[in-house]
Copies of this chain bind each other. A is one copy, B any other.
């Protein structure tokens, strides 16, 4: 972790702190609690707090912070809701955390164009609450109530991605402030463009390493006329995975298809007061017209039955449906109850769907052989699944076992033409896998781009790849 510009001197930090406190008053915070909270991580990576946290309220204020930090070569860590999972918010060399939670304006909704323009601090739930009255929604739903800016940064996805794509598919344009203090607009509001390099997609998934996103134009979708959702148990994880595979292969436009293994179901039942059958299950949802949804559900039922699944249980009332998906999103918290006092952390591999059943089976066998508690949930329509590993990070012995498991998990994904990170990003936690995944020449190309845009490495240093200015 010494792969960046180096920690600024105490004097430099004092100078920058003074300047920011003068400008921002009590919106520049140096208290230990706030600094710690802005570096929190859900892996075993140690907290590396920034030197201070600033709460700007406009792009212009952000620009001033960026210019000040650039002049003093002080690191900047853009902070959304703090729900990222791979140490994205850690400040290995200190610096200024820019907390964007005061940037919550929904600037315009264009219902006729199915898009909106918002500030980065708006969270996905806030946005969807606001959009309800327009009959619109924004489908990308990582488990947490993440900020949209953070979701841009990590190229987030979630349960709806199988139908609606990921953040890369749902961002039309971005406004961002570069380390040189310039503001760029990556595209106009038209739905299509071939006007030069796709800077929108370059910034989506760049994890705050290229600039601070200050405005986001998002694609929206009409609330489906009809929704049906349900739970379908299967005799084995393989049968459930096979059903998911067949569903995708037959082109069924399913909106959500989530796998929970038996351990995960048990945990969710207890935490969310549900009574799902304690076997592997698929949670599914269909969007469309009344007729279309009925047709899709029937076809899925046939597939499930062919694979020994069922009986299918429908959540017909909206409140039951909400409860079901909230339970799915709460699976992280539910898992905690399986081993009190221990925080789970999530793995995130994604493989071509033809390898999915094998990959999950091998992983389950590995979990069993390793003696781990690690329930599985997965966005199986995309070939993406998580294990929530319950490990006592204080035990060197357990950590050694888990590290072995993780190495094998990522190697398994790579062997099956997959990725170590389907949707959580690289951050600090997955830097070590990137070379094996994409090759050194590819990672070097990313470094060239980083160097071109952020030569002094002030933007969220020490993330994605090692980089020395």
Contacts and interface: CB of A to CB of B under 8 A. Distances in A.
A169 to B, nearest CB: 6
A191 interface: yes
Nearest to A299: B289
A20 to B, nearest CB: 24
Contacts of A115: 352
Given A202-B202, A383-B190, A453-B445, A419 B222 contact: no
Contacts of A384: 190-192
A438 B251 contact: no
A249 B114 contact: yes
A307 to B, nearest CB: 15
Interface string A150-192: 0000111100010001101100000000100011111111111
Interface stretch (A50-58, A96-104, A328-336, A420-428): A420-428
Looking at A165, A204, A352, A354, which has the most chain B CB atoms within 10 Å of its CB? A352
Copies in the complex: 2
A326 B205 CA distance: 39
Contacts of A464: 196-197
Interface of A: 110-115, 154-157, 161, 165-166, 168-169, 178, 182-199, 201-202, 204-206, 221-222, 224-225, 245, 248-251, 253, 289, 291-292, 295, 350-354, 379, 382-384, 413-414, 417-426, 430, 434, 437-439, 441-446, 448-449, 451-453, 464-465
Given A168-B198, A250-B222, A354-B110, A421 B193 contact: yes
Contacts of A444: 182
Contacts of A250: 222
A352 B169 contact: no
Contacts of A443: 196
B424 A352 contact: no
Nearest to A200: B201
A289 B445 CA distance: 44
A199 B114 contact: no
